[in-house]
Amino acid sequence: MGTTQTQSIERTLRAFALLEGMPEAELKTLEARCRWRNCDKGQTILDKGATSKDVFFVLKGSVAVVTFSPSGKEVTLATVKPGESFGELAAIDDQPRSASVTAIEKSELCIMPPDVFMDLVRTNALVSFRLLQRMARLVRQSGLRIMELSTLQAAQRVYAELLRMAQPEPAVPGLWVVRPLPPMHEIAGITSTTRETVNRAVSQLYPSGLLKRKGRNLYLMDKNKLEELVQTIQAHHAHK
């Protein structure tokens, strides 16, 4: 269940930034060499340590890249959304999977065999450059999270993550929104804390007006002040 391939919906890699600008004929040839998969919510897509080398492109839904601490605590490394991909490292270095991947919601994936992916990287300079940019972002993000784990308290890690998730609200200049706000346990996994701590950290800023919840969305009413709050508390703990 959940892995049945269907042909009822047009499937294309046209929307992926990694392949932007590729001629239509080349894109069609590339798509023809891929497989397509539907996944149910909660379904495991990859297991840590697996030897498969496929690269996955998320067309619909979203997936979580997770690992586990020695005590068994789940840690979310990333959430991959439509237009994004995962699994490139195994295709590049031929090593086992470094993390597990689970569908957060019903999702549709394009699966590119490793030889197809590496042919693409070797023959298309623009794709190679974009891939390098993506790897650079991952390295920077990893370094930032390591720093936050070392210097920030749990609540401040939550605020820092909300700041990263937020996007400008087009209808209201200066307003930022997390749309939709992920479940508390997902944010907890990313920030290495508990769901209760995440809920408490978010709730305690409602009275101040810095955060406002509306439906599934969380609005950052004053992004600059929230950034200052994180920096102020970070500096405070650094001098204790």
**Mean pLDDT across the chain, nearest whole number?**
88
Task: Give which of 136, 127, 129, 79 is closest to 104, Cα–Cα.
Answer: 79
**Unique residue bearing structure tokens 């590119």:** 112
- Quickly list DSSP for 152-210: --HHHHHHHHHHHH-EE-TTSTT-EEESSPPPHHHHHHHHTS-HHHHHHHHHTTTTTTS
CA quadruple 76, 49, 5, 37: dihedral, nearest 10: 30
pLDDT band at 83 (very low <50, low <70, confident <90, very high): very high
Q: Is the pLDDT of residue 230 over 80?
A: yes
Q: Is the pLDDT of residue 70 over 90?
A: no
Q: Is the pLDDT of residue 92 over 80?
A: yes
Q: What's the rounded mean pLDDT across residues 122-131?
A: 95
Distances in Å between the Cα of 103 and the Cα atoms of 59, 139, 153, 177 are: 12, 24, 29, 24
Enclosing H/E stretch for 238: helix 223-238
| CB-neighbour burial class of residue 42 (10 A; exposed 0-12, middle 13-18, buried 19+) | exposed
**What is the pLDDT, as a whole number, of residue 5?**
43
According to DSSP, the residues that pair with 44 across neighbouring strands are 102
Q: Is the pTM of this model over 0.75?
A: no
**What is the pLDDT, as a whole number, of residue 234?**
54
Q: Is the pLDDT of residue 24 over 80?
A: yes
Q: What is the percent of the chain with per-residue pLDDT over 70, rounded to a whole number?
A: 92
**What is the pLDDT, as a whole number, of residue 3?**
43
For 28-51, the pLDDT digits (tens) are 999 999 999 999 999 999 999 999
**Dihedral over Cα of 27, 83, 86, 123: its sign:** positive
The domains found in the chain, sorted by start residue, are 17-138 (2.60.120.10), 152-238 (1.10.10.10)
- What helix, strand, coil percent values describe the chain, rounded to 5? 40, 20, 35
**What is the pLDDT, as a whole number, of residue 95?**
96
Higher pLDDT, 146 or 90: 90
For 161-188, the pLDDT digits (tens) are 999 999 999 888 889 999 999 889 889 8
Task: Give which of 27, 74, 66 is closest to 44, Cα–Cα.
Answer: 66
pLDDT band at 235 (very low <50, low <70, confident <90, very high): low
* Cis status, amide bond into 23, omega within 30 of 0: no
**What is the pLDDT, as a whole number, of residue 185?**
86
